[in-house]
A and B are shown apart, each in its own frame.
Chain A
Amino acid sequence: MMTSNHHDHDSSDSGRTEGGPAGSGGAAASDVVYSTANEERAVAGSAGSISGPAGIRSAETERESANAAWLDDFTIELRLLEVSGSLIGDAVASAGEFLEDSGTTAEESFGSAQRYAAELDLPAVAKAKTNEVLLMSGIGVIGLVVLGQTAFPLAGGDDGLVVRVWLLVSLVAMALILSLIPRAIPVLLRARSRPLVLGMIFAGIVFGGAGPVLLSVWQGQTVLFTVPALPVAIAAGILLVVPAIWNQVRHNLSDDPILEPGAEPDQRPSLGSRLFIVVTNWILVFYGAVSIVLVFVLYPDNQ
């Protein structure tokens, strides 16, 4: 036995009038504390209207909905930190358990969701996995757009791909968006409850995007330069196919569901969800192939 135990009894006898469970009290003991904490809070919270149980109940509902919103924020913050679904489920359930037991608000007990998520310091499963998927899909889209552009000159027996202003603007915009999205997602998710910030971001996009759009409208058809169509088509085809193969091999598109503690993950995802993943992964390639075939078949000279 340690001296701290002795001190334990001293202080709880003299300092506290309402008993709390010391040490590993069971569920029954904690329930006593829970109701005591509730009463204390109701007394402290609404000095004027402490008498009716309705007041306590509405304060309780308010606390529960605030805590639920906090737990949602906490989940998102852990997702942004690339924590695995099962660890997120565990951490969220732990926080929920503590809030239930203590009868406190999440802000009070845990502070800001963003800081608490960082302080827990849970391991990230695959750092930047989401970014990798985004980058790969974006490259695939760029490949598809360029391939589509080469289809017409190739089908018409023309060797040169004419690059016009609108095509260049679109490609640059796509590359920009692609590089900004990983940074923008956390900002947007955190701003979802702040309309002012969202409004400013929206205004920024509108004003920032107006220039290139107007340029495309007025000068879109201006020819900038001509490049050989076949090599560009081959390169674009590679850009289109490689991300799909990459995602297929690395199983990047497999989802990582948030699991409640004790819940077993499905060892083998259902046929439907596996099919969905495969189709999602290859849909761009399929679309690109169909477009090329249609352009070649339907091109006026080839009919």
Chain B
Amino acid sequence: MQPKSWPAEWMRAALGLCVLRTLAPGPTYGYAIASALESAGFGVIKGGTLYPLLTRFEAAGWIAAEWRPGAGGPGRKYFALTDSGQHELSDQSGQWKLFATTVHDHLQKGPAA
């Protein structure tokens, strides 16, 4: 039913918002974000796609990062939504919903006669 991978352009447009949403329940780390997105049906998200996005969000102040020591390992970098990230998430989610509805309606009805 579901294609193996979505068109790259669609993923580029949607991935940022979806990453923010993945962080909404609480702080989490890189591979857990990629796994959650894969489970959600987005296909395999590579580290090379995910981390530049996270770095950009961190620079924009939407997320904050913190290293938590692992058990004997090098530890993990946890990302958490900041207040401004929460705002961004709800703003963009609202807009995305409108956009998706617009696309959907158009695909259903076609151009207004």
Contact = CB atoms under 8 A, between A and B. Distances in A.
A301 interface: no
Interface residues of B, number: 39
Given A11-B40, A15-B41, A261-B67, A21 B32 contact: yes
B106 interface: no
Contacts of A102: 31, 34, 47
A100 B47 CA distance: 12
B111 interface: no
Name A's interface SS: helix
Contact of A30 (B22, B32, B39, B55): B32
B28 A98 contact: no
Contacts of A91: 51
Contact of A262 (B38, B46, B75): B75
Nearest to A111: B48
* Interface of B, helix, strand, loop or mixed by DSSP: helix
A98 B71 contact: no
B33 to A, nearest CB: 8
Contacts of B23: 24
Contacts of A33: 31, 35
A172 to B, nearest CB: 44
A11 B2 contact: yes
Nearest to B27: A24
Contacts of A15: 2, 41
A7 B31 contact: no
Given A2-B21, A20-B35, A110-B46, A119 B52 contact: yes
Nearest to A110: B48
B110 interface: no
B55 A22 contact: no
9 contacts: A20-B35, A20-B39, A25-B35, A29-B32, A95-B51, A98-B51, A102-B34, A119-B48, A262-B67
Interface of A: 2, 4, 7-8, 10-12, 14-16, 20-25, 27, 29-30, 33, 90-91, 93-102, 104, 108-111, 116, 119-122, 260-262
Given A97-B30, A102-B31, 12 more contacts: A2-B21, A7-B40, A15-B2, A33-B35, A97-B76, A98-B34, A98-B50, A101-B29, A121-B52, A121-B56, A260-B74, A262-B67
